[in-house]
Amino acid sequence: MITYPVIKKGAAIGVTAASAGVGPQSVELFGQAITRMEEKGYHVLCGDTVFRHDKAKSASGLVRGKEFNQMMSSDEVDLILPPWGGELLIEMLEHIDFSQVKNKWIMGFSDISLLLLVITLRTGIATAHGPSLGDLRGEVIDKTTAKWETVLSTASGESVIQRSSPTDWKTVSGEAVTLQGRLLGGCIDVIRHIIGTPYGDVRHFQENFIHQEPILWYLENCELNTADLRRSLVQMKLAGWFDNCSGVMFGRSGSNTPMENYTAEDVYRELTEELQVPVVYDLDYGHIPPQMTLINGAYAEVKVSGGAGTITQYFYE
């Protein structure tokens, strides 16, 4: 059974730097994001890690884990929203007290997607792959990214639809496709590193939380060349992550650098041939905006046709 949090107007946002913190050069930009949230009526609570950053992280994994545990267990925090991604979130996983994880939204992407995936796999609580707080600093935000509030306000048992931006969604087959399944995913650069660890037990999630319903994977590539992307996907397959998979989606990426004429399209084609499931790509999420909000654990129906598409998420238990 999947549990869905819900936010309401005036919610308290707990900001903890689970990966990178806010360095001196970014304080002004980050301050704009806080202002925007306060203008919307949210109450912003920043933890001690937020305005710290050195050696590729805000603090040690232990310190970050303790602050996350405090915010997760606190009745004064309704939503946890890190300032942005980073590099070394994996260091804090062993310090998370999963017994203290409450039914509240955690949202972010990039390195934060590792935290999101682990929380959903271990607890069955839905998590939100969407914009980080720093991405919401603009006076005007595109309607695709701005949909995060609607998605996180959707009640259990209801559904929410998101439509493609004026980009070009693609299918490997070149034909219209429909995909359905329970969403799981994140930034492949980081989530691949929990394969084979207690934090990446996809089979346990399938058996205990979604009762063997098919998984619809959404992935995005931050920095991998195509050979490394391919290696990562093969590792996921060999680890059983693609067992009972109904399809794979890829967000747009500026880092699909070909390796000796080996392109991302080659990778996608090989994956669909091996798994015998539809593969779609260049969707609206990842490191190239705009950014849809995708919910780990939600049942989704994805339709792609003629370069456009929709993602409908059903908040079913």
pLDDT at 207: 96
Quick: pLDDT tens for 46-61.
999 999 999 999 999 9
pLDDT at 257: 85
* Dist CA 239 CA 13 (whole Å): 36
Q: How far from each other are the two terminal CA atoms of the chain, in whole angstroms?
A: 5
pLDDT at 44: 97
Quick: pLDDT tens for 284-307.
999 999 999 999 999 999 999 999
**Percent of the chain predicted with pLDDT > 90:** 94
- Interval 25-32 mean pLDDT: 91
Specify whether the CB–CB gap between 308 and 164 falls below 8 A. yes
pTM over 0.75? The answer is: yes
Quick: pLDDT tens for 82-125.
999 999 999 999 999 999 899 999 999 999 999 999 999 999 99
The residues that are catalytic are: 110, 220, 287
| Overall size of the chain counted in residues | 317
Structure-token pair, residue 28: 């002004």
Q: Which domains does the chain have, with CATH numbers?
A: 12-154 (3.40.50.10740), 160-315 (3.50.30.60)
Q: Specify the DSSP element, H or E, that contains 46.
A: strand 43-46
pLDDT at 140: 83
Quick: pLDDT tens for 160-180.
999 999 989 999 999 999 999
Mean pLDDT of the chain: 96
Handedness of CA 177, 180, 183, 185 (dihedral sign): negative
Quick: pLDDT tens for 169-219.
999 999 999 999 999 999 999 999 999 999 999 999 999 999 999 999 999
Selection from 90, 94, 14 nearest residue 57 by Cα: 90
